[in-house]
Amino acid sequence: MRNLVVKKIKNNMVIIMIISLINMLLVFLFYQGDLIIKREVYGKNIEHGMTKCAEVANGLDNIIYLGENIVNFIDRDYQYLSDTNNLDSMKEMLINQTFELINQNEKYFENLYIGYDQYVFSAENGVYENFSPVGRPWFESALERDGLVITSPYEDFYTGETVITISKRIGNTDGVVGLDILQTKILEMLKRETESADSIKLGFIINRDGIIIARTDGEHTGKSVVDSSLANADKLEPYYEQLLKDDSGTIMFDQEGYAYGLVHQKTASDWQVVYVVDKEVMSSETMLLRRQFEIYFVISFLLLNSVVIVYNYKRHKAIKLKERAENAEKNLLEHKKQLENLVNERTEKILLQSKKLEELNTAVIDNLADVVEFRDLESGQHIKRMKNYVEIVIKKAIELYPEYASYQDKIGKICEASALHDIGKIGISDLILLKPGKLTIEEFEEIKKHTIIGGELAAKILEKYDADLKEFGYQICRYHHERYDGKGYPDGLKNEDIPFCAQVVGIVDVYDALIEKRVYKKPFSHEKAIEMIVNGECGKFSEKIINTLLLVEDELKAIGHENN
């Protein structure tokens, strides 16, 4: 009897020890799981904020990049116009038509103007005869520095709108070209990215001097981000230098119960896009997941303890516990599936944003090409036809000749780059470019330079884009006037030394020039244009390219008729 009691006590002690070890292990796992949940939720919210910062930074880069290019183009064109007699009227025409062109789609820019110490030529308000820009930051800073200047926000003298000005001194003159960006458009972009983000408390953009460009609450524009009048500026001040210096990063505040953090991303123009992340929101999200985890923990706790206890008494109890475990596993799989669906939805949103960015890049390229086409006084449809021609000819060439198969996945990029083929003409004087009669030898040599200028401009414009797009843009702009027998320009390339993309653009550019009316000639018929190309009257092209052209000439003719 005594032995039986001792044995029973020993068995109970073993069970108690096993249960104690299991419970200790479960508590440890619960603690670790809680830390993992908190770290994951915090990390996802920080990553979400960084994504928002990057999206706004990309949008700002595109606006500023377009604005800087417009200011540079005005500066370049103004210097070419300086030799004309009616300079004032040409200046007004230049800024009015350029401003109208860049605001055809969404209006990001408020005004475009050229200022002197006594008056201003404005695209929106005409000539300010009694207005002196002397003392204005956009005017004085541009005269003092070489290159582009971007001001802090200020209130426009006439419209009362808050604007940021991109300005630049015009050559060695006392004039300054300025382009006003609407601060409200930047504010809208900043707000748009926070509307669906509960964890983002506030967003703001500061320039390289720490001046506030915009805040989502619409307040404190033009002030320093560490101005003593701003709430909680003292908490940011120790991190101020780091914020301006770093390209991107996070700053987390944990002192004195101040449950906020910053995520920031620098733009190409040294602005910082900053979002304030509310850690209290993150904690509430963490609590939801923690409660689910606690349920799983309790279930696991009861199951494991019950298995150990009941196993010693009734085996059939273990079957029911197994069924409960299977149900718990089913719930876990369903939860996993929900998480996978959520990840897929987020991935689709990222791809959609990438597509929108690609469409914006294409629009910027087309708008720059339209600026050149407008100077050349063409019909306005030349670029559209060229892209259609190039796509048709390249697809047929790839179908006919296996050596061109490597271009199959790059057709879209070549078509986009073809829009810039004559961008070098922006560097040619209007006196030559628009001359209605035959050019002299010297004038034709000057015209030839547009290929060299175009290649350099295309490489610079497309530098921040895809590497293939940059290479195609350079090749097309520089070599589309080369000919197969080496009698083209500017480098006299022969045969297949001429890049394939330049050969295609070269032949369709000749075709479109023949069928379109120009100031120095009447349009030729489609049939006559094809005959002249085949007979070599417009320079020699490769037999492969000519054969391809002949096979698609009906499609080219249809495009030419539709747009003419």
- DSSP per-residue string spanning 493-527: -BGGGS-HHHHHHHHHHHHHHHHS-BTTBPPPPHH
**Which residue has better confidence, 157 or 134?**
134
Judged by average pLDDT, the poorest of 101-115, 504-518, 549-563 is 101-115
What pLDDT, in 10s, does the model give residues 4-43? 555 566 666 766 777 677 767 767 666 666 556 656 666 6
Average pLDDT of the segment spanning 528-543 = 93
Predicted confidence (pLDDT) at residue 193 exceeds the cutoff of 50:
yes
What is the pLDDT, as a whole number, of residue 545?
A: 95
Residue 276 DSSP class: E
Token pair belonging to 431: 């006196």
Whole-angstrom Cα Rg for the chain: 34
- Extract the runs of DSSP E, i.e. beta strands, from 312-354: none
Predicted confidence (pLDDT) at residue 466 exceeds the cutoff of 90:
no
**Which residue has better confidence, 211 or 345?**
211
The residues, any chain, with a CB within 8 Å of residue 175's CB and separated by 6 or more, are 78, 114, 115, 116, 169
From 1.10.3210.10, 3.40.50.2300, 3.40.50.720, 3.40.630.30, which CATH number describes the 358-563 domain?
Answer: 1.10.3210.10
**Which residue has better confidence, 348 or 140?**
140
CATH architecture of 10-308: 2-Layer Sandwich (3.30)
The residues, any chain, with a CB within 8 Å of residue 527's CB and separated by 6 or more, are none
What is the pLDDT, as a whole number, of residue 349?
A: 52
What is the pLDDT, as a whole number, of residue 351?
A: 45
Predicted confidence (pLDDT) at residue 452 exceeds the cutoff of 60:
yes
What is the pLDDT, as a whole number, of residue 379?
A: 45
What is the pLDDT, as a whole number, of residue 356?
A: 44
Around 41, how many Cα atoms within 13 Å sit in the side-chain half-sphere?
A: 20
- Rounded distance between C-alpha atoms, residue 526 and residue 505, angstroms: 18
Judged by average pLDDT, the poorest of 81-95, 202-216, 376-390, 461-475 is 81-95
Predicted confidence (pLDDT) at residue 240 exceeds the cutoff of 70:
yes
536: left (phi over 0), alpha (psi -120 to 50) or beta: left
Judged by average pLDDT, the poorest of 249-253, 314-318, 509-513, 541-545 is 314-318
Binned at pLDDT 50, 70 and 90, residue 347 comes out as: very low
Average pLDDT of the segment spanning 158-176 = 87
Average pLDDT of the segment spanning 386-405 = 94
Q: What is the dihedral of CA 555, 556, 559, 560, to 10 degrees?
A: -150
Residue 436 DSSP class: S
Give me the chain's average pLDDT, please: 79
Task: Find out whether 277 and 200 touch, Cβ atoms under 8 Å.
Answer: yes
**Which residue has better confidence, 75 or 207?**
207
Topology match between the domains 10-308 and 358-563: no
- Rounded distance between C-alpha atoms, residue 183 and residue 16, angstroms: 71
Predicted confidence (pLDDT) at residue 394 exceeds the cutoff of 90:
yes
Predicted confidence (pLDDT) at residue 357 exceeds the cutoff of 50:
no
For helices 500-515 and 543-551, angle between their N-to-C axes, nearest 10 degrees: 50
**Which residue has better confidence, 394 or 99?**
394
Token pair belonging to 63: 């606006």
Q: Is 408 exposed, middle or buried (0-12, 13-18, 19+ CB in 10 A)?
A: exposed
What pLDDT, in 10s, does the model give residues 195-212? 666 677 788 899 988 899
- Rounded distance between C-alpha atoms, residue 514 and residue 518, angstroms: 9
| Domains in the chain: boundaries | 10-308, 358-563
- Rounded distance between C-alpha atoms, residue 334 and residue 311, angstroms: 30
**Which residue has better confidence, 314 or 511?**
511
The residues, any chain, with a CB within 8 Å of residue 260's CB and separated by 6 or more, are 201, 253, 276, 277, 278, 279
What is the pLDDT, as a whole number, of residue 156?
A: 82
Predicted confidence (pLDDT) at residue 97 exceeds the cutoff of 90:
no
